Amino acid sequence: MKKRTFGKWLYPVAIASLVMLSACGGGGQQAQQSGGGQTAATESKEPIKVGAIFSLTGPNSPLGVPEKQAVELLVKEINGAGGVDGRPVEVVFEDDKSDNTEAVKAIKKLVSKEKVVAVLGSSGSGPSLGMAEFAAAEKLPLISMAAADQITNPVRAGIFKTPHTDVHGTKRIFKYLKEKGITKIATLNDSNPYGSGWTTQLQKYAPEYGITIVAEEKYGTKDPSMSSQLTKIKGTDAQALIVAGTNPGPATIVKEAKQLNLGIPIISSHGSANSKFLELVGDAGEGVLMVAGKLLVPDQVDANDPQAAIIKKFTEGYQTAYNTQPDGFAGYGYDGLNLLVEGLKQAGGDASKLGEVLEKVKYVGVTGEFTFSAEDHNGLTEDSMIMVEVKDGKFQIVK
């Protein structure tokens, strides 16, 4: 890949008096869209081009659509305040249609045709893994919005991610189970890379927390029913069920578990931590537990929490723009672009150093407090995750 160089870019972390512009875009929009919101001062200058590949259609669209909206919102804020050193940020969006092959095609297109300096995405672990392999070979910085630990483990130059990993989620759930005296569990995970990653981590860390897995079941992403797997689990002495997948699978599992009178607590991964889960599960969701980031319950974050200010700012801005509360997936996109801009600022005018510079970035985001290093390209810990419970159709922090 050719070396990309630019003049020195400076972007203040805090932007005063931001103007929140109305939303443009949502689910199902076609590829080749760009984020703008340029001021007259930035229109004449060469834009800084960034690629963003999200799942705007297909099974992962509940993840990709809010990610895109969050990035569009932030781009408008940046450009409305004069851009980066007077240059507009242009984000070229592509839809991977929740498909691994489409994701790789999209990133190749962004590199060959659009000449982007870096890429955000994708929404799912499968597409992100394919993109990361290509990006690493091309020495193209990439920040993923997907959770699988193997995206950044082992570490590869220039490849980063914003969500908590399945390792973080596993440890946080096991910590909760240990506090409750639960020692026997069943697992029911999607067979895709996201769910398989969770299976691996649950198996790996169970002994450390004194937990025994008495049943392991899988389901396909598009499976309409998981009742057979739940029936098998009901026949065991499991004291809790851990579910790992993205909607609609977890919601289907919860509804069918209630119909079968499973009778044990259900704990879901952060892959379904959004309002769509509540919508899909309905009354059957009452009492379901979930591991998540703090953005899921912004009004319940302690005012003294280091993340409180940025969560409040982002939530209010997103609510104004889209008339809905942002979820964790929106936060992944928001943090991704903020991290990228911070890295560009610190690159000192040489975009070829972006991957190296990102390893030194420290940033308090809506997902958590990021501390990247040469050994850690995710920069988060399980301590920034919380346990929530569905009560009266809403998520409530478990104290």
Which parts of the chain sit beneath pLDDT 70? 1-44, 348-350
Q: Are 182 and 216 in contact (CB under 8 A)?
A: no
- For 130-143, the pLDDT digits (tens) are 999 999 999 999 99
- How far the first Cα of the chain sits from its last, in Å, is 50
- Report which of 150, 147, 137, 125 is spatially closest to residue 55, judged by C-alpha positions: 125
372, HSE (Cβ side, Cα atoms, 13 Å): 28
State the CB neighbour count (10 A cutoff) for residue 215: 18
C-alpha distances (whole Å) from 225 to each of 48, 197, 228, 324, 372 are 46, 22, 8, 30, 40
The rounded Cα 346 to chain-centroid distance in angstroms is 24
The rounded Cα 2 to chain-centroid distance in angstroms is 30
Residue with tokens 């229109």: 43
C-alpha distances (whole Å) from 252 to each of 223, 248, 395 are 10, 6, 18
Q: Where in the chain is the domain with CATH 3.40.50.2300?
A: 48-165+303-382, 167-300+386-397
Residue with tokens 């889209």: 322
Residue 211 burial (C-beta neighbours within 10 Å; 0-12, 13-18, 19+): buried
Encoded amino acid at 145, one letter: M
Q: Is 175 helix (H, G, I), strand (E, B) or coil?
A: helix
Q: What is the DSSP string of 215-241?
A: EEEEE-TT-S--HHHHHHHHTS--SEE
The pLDDT value recorded for residue 36 is 63
The pLDDT value recorded for residue 10 is 34
State the CB neighbour count (10 A cutoff) for residue 183: 15
Task: Just give the CATH number of 48-165+303-382.
Answer: 3.40.50.2300
> Domain 167-300+386-397 classified CATH 3.40.50.720?
no
The pLDDT value recorded for residue 84 is 73
The residue ranges of DSSP E strands in 113-183, in sequence order, are: 119-121, 142-144, 159-161
pTM (2 d.p.): 0.83
Q: Is 154 helix (H, G, I), strand (E, B) or coil?
A: coil
